[in-house]
């Protein structure tokens, strides 16, 4: 037997083994098929790509979210969550009634309580978010918990850093989580300054050169700040100057994004997510107690908005972020307004949007006209035809880059968070969305949407079908690999 034949046999054995692993280990048939085509038609390169980016850690549990040491105590807390959620639902008025299935699903499967006593403020763009952040951080008395996908050592990053250092020197416990991929430039200098000043800082799922490919998939995309267990921020805005639109700086790309300030018991689940992430990356053992979950967070506030948090990632038994979006779309009766910077929805979201539109619900989608990823934009375009044929209105934002991740349903429910409408957010990253069951806030976010589409181009369904064949081919080709993006 010559040497070439031996190598061919060995390669076939390896290829069959990899294909078997892909079939066994990949959750969805479309993603499995994409990886199979990749390893078969791109010899060696495809196999290397799969082992770098495609290994399914859902089954391998790279991360275990176990905040409670006592199982009996955890079960008691879960029972209390379900009971309080039922009580809040029963006394929640007419706004919450049509969304019983959504609220109950999150309470039961995500252990996220439906909370009734919350003040919620909509923050449009970084120039409105960061002054509020600095004000709340300055007010901290006991602890500051901050967790970001992207944190940059620039003007706004240093402004927040100075407050964190100041509060740490005053005796406030400051804990800081940064994603080691999204925030890699700060790993040495800024992180060093924080640690010297007494801030506890850890990267989430630290990357090394050899682990770069595999760990690139499982990133912490959350943006969370929790102060003293009763005030929090969540949404799409990272810590970076590019999120701030300063007057007179027309040369800079305009950045459209959305965030929320929450005060009240809706903060407690954000605290739970942070502490779980902290115990994982810091190898700590912080436990739920009165310091982190103060009774004051459950006391009535001036506002009484109902809030529920959907958080999920590779640690989750169910994809709560995806399921909550699907349920919200399915429960709509009049209107759905969706803003997302990356739209690779997968069959479930696509079908839900088509069914809603065909059923008489007005469905409007706002996506970037100016994008930071050509291949993602091309893949997104491959889905537009099906949506347009079903009557969905699609708008491409032209004023700048729209990075907001929001949904408004029937002007009664507002969803603001970190999750894009793509497989990476639904399956690979750690994400968090806030769901607000409140007509006032939903109407406010609806008004923001309609202001945004004034700066957008509406796609004409007829013209879309007539676009050049080579463009359609590029979009369809990008769609083939979209499960891997």
Residues annotated as catalytic (active site), given as ranges: 221, 223, 228, 403, 405, 410
Quick check: 35 and 484 in contact, CB under 8 A? yes
In this structure, how many other beta carbons lie within 10 angstroms of the beta carbon of residue 109? Answer: 16
Q: Any bridge partners for residue 338, and if so which?
A: 365, 407
Report the candidate in 342, 334, 308 with the shortest Cα–Cα distance to residue 414.
308
| CA distances to 103, 138, 375 from 419, in Å | 19, 28, 19
Angle at 184 between CA 178 and CA 185, to 5 degrees: 115
Quick check: 458 and 11 in contact, CB under 8 A? no
Q: Which residue has the tokens 């050592």?
A: 153
Quick check: 82 and 111 in contact, CB under 8 A? no
């Amino acid at each position: 037997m010559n040497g070439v034949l031996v190598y061919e046999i060995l390669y076939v054995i390896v290829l069959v083994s990899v294909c078997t692993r892909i079939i066994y280990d990949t959750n969805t048939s479309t993603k499995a098929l994409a990886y199979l085509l990749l390893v078969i038609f791109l010899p060696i390169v495809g196999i290397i790509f799969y082992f770098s980016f495609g290994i399914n850690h859902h089954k391998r549990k790279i991360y275990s979210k176990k905040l409670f040491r006592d199982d009996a105590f955890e079960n008691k807390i879960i029972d209390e969550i379900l009971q309080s959620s039922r009580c809040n639902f029963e006394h929640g008025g007419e706004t919450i009634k049509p969304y019983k299935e959504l609220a109950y699903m999150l309470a039961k499967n995500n252990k996220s309580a439906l909370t009734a006593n919350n003040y919620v403020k909509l923050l449009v763009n970084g120039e409105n978010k960061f002054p509020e952040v600095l004000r709340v951080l300055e007010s901290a008395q006991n602890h500051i918990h901050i967790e970001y996908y992207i944190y940059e050592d620039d003007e706004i990053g240093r402004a927040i850093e100075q407050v964190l250092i100041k509060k740490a020197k005053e005796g406030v416990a400051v804990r800081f989580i940064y994603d080691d991929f999204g925030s890699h430039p700060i790993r040495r200098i800024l992180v060093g300054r924080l640690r010297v000043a007494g801030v506890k800082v850890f990267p989430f799922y630290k990357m090394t050169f050899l682990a770069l490919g595999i760990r690139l998939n499982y990133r912490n995309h959350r943006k969370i700040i929790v102060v003293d267990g009763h005030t929090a921020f969540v949404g799409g805005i990272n810590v970076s100057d590019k999120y701030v639109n300063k007057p007179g700086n027309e040369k800079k790309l305009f950045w459209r994004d959305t965030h929320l300030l929450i005060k009240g018991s809706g903060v407690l689940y954000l605290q739970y997510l942070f502490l779980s992430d902290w115990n994982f990356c810091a190898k700590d053992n912080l436990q739920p107690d009165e310091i982190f979950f103060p009774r004051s967070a459950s006391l009535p506030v001036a506002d009484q908005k109902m809030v529920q948090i959907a958080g999920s990632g590779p640690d989750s038994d169910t994809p709560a972020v995806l399921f909550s979006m699907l349920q919200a779309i399915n429960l709509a009766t009049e209107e759905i307004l969706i803003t997302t910077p990356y739209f690779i929805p997968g069959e479930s979201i696509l079908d839900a949007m088509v069914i809603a539109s065909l059923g008489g619900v007005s469905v409007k989608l706002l996506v970037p006209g100016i994008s930071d990823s050509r291949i993602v934009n091309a893949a997104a375009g491959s889905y537009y035809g099906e949506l347009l044929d079903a009557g969905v209105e699609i708008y491409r934002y032209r004023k700048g880059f729209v990075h907001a991740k929001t949904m408004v349903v029937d002007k009664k429910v507002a969803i603001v968070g970190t999750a894009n409408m793509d497989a990476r957010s639904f399956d690979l990253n750690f994400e968090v969305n806030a769901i607000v069951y409140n007509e006032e806030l939903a109407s406010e976010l609806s008004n923001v949407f309609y202001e945004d589409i004034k700066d957008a181009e509406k796609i004409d369904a007829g013209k879309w079908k007539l676009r050049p064949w080579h463009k359609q081919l590029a979009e369809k080709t990008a769609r083939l690999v979209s499960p891997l993006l």
